[in-house]
Chains A and B, each alone.
Chain A
């Protein structure tokens, strides 16, 4: 890329979210990806960001406590009774 078109690492880290959302304009996406080819540092950063998102996504504890279950079943019975 011409220097004037150049993406620095500092600029790239500000564009990471837009890139992952698919919101970068095609020309900017190209610059982003061309930089990734050259720059291991930014490739590692993008991977760190993806990992962060993955860890956040793994935190969905799905269970309901027995107490909550009990009290809500009572809510249900009351509702049904009416």
Chain B
């Protein structure tokens, strides 16, 4: 099945440090049980794992659907999602920061102060293009505003933004 993989510059795994080849099947040889498997993202998972490079990946063998990721026996990088770059990361962050700002502006209750601070944090980090971090701050502001439902909706909005902007599979 087709999924997505977030990598550091140069196709480097963010936790394994592993250098991913293109077009070659990679099998995880993790000796420790919970480190086995190739990790990949559905579109809905992307906001949690955003790094500098986004790649399409083919997954083979047994594919486990976990809460925030897919785990497969084998994976093969297909091609880079070229649309994901510094400019789109900045746009993503600005979009999240805008929602955080909007929440802060219409807030009236006890949380108004906190929402304003979070909106400020989001804006400051958006200026630096910190996509994953701003996504997190925006999700946090959504949770302060409307609880778990707010959180889920914000993360979904982020995934939808990515799907639309990068023309990915719809979440």
Given contacts A37-B50, A38-B132, contact A27 B143 (CB under 8 A): no
Specify which of B30, B132, B148, B151 is in contact with A37 (CB 8 Å cutoff).
Answer: B132
Which residue of chain A has the shortest Cβ distance to B148 in the bound complex? Answer: A2
Within 8 A of B (CB), among A35-78: 36-39
- Determine if A30 and B32 form an interchain contact, defined as CB atoms under 8 angstroms apart: no
Complex Cα gap A21–B32 (Å): 8
**Binding site secondary structure of chain A:** helix
- Determine if B48 and A37 form an interchain contact, defined as CB atoms under 8 angstroms apart: yes
- Determine if A36 and B15 form an interchain contact, defined as CB atoms under 8 angstroms apart: yes
Task: Say if the beta carbon of B167 comes within 8 Å of chain A.
Answer: no
Task: Say if the beta carbon of B103 comes within 8 Å of chain A.
Answer: no
- Determine if B34 and A22 form an interchain contact, defined as CB atoms under 8 angstroms apart: yes
The interface size bin for chain B is 20 to 34
Complex Cα gap A36–B8 (Å): 13
Which residue of chain B has the shortest Cβ distance to A25 in the bound complex? Answer: B34
Specify which of B6, B14, B133, B143 is in contact with A3 (CB 8 Å cutoff).
Answer: B143
- One digit per residue, 1 when the CB lies within 8 angstroms of any chain A CB and 0 when it does not, for chain B 25-38 equals 00000101111000
Stretch with Cβ within 8 A of A (4 or more), from B65-73, B85-93, B105-113: B65-73
Q: Interface of A with B (CB < 8 Å)?
A: 1-3, 21-22, 24-27, 29-30, 33-34, 36-39
- What are the 10 tightest A-B residue pairs by CB atom distance, in nearest-first order? A22-B32, A38-B133, A26-B34, A37-B132, A38-B136, A34-B48, A22-B35, A38-B132, A33-B15, A30-B68
Q: Interface of B with A (CB < 8 Å)?
A: 6, 14-15, 30, 32-35, 48-51, 66-69, 132-133, 136, 139-140, 143-144, 148, 151
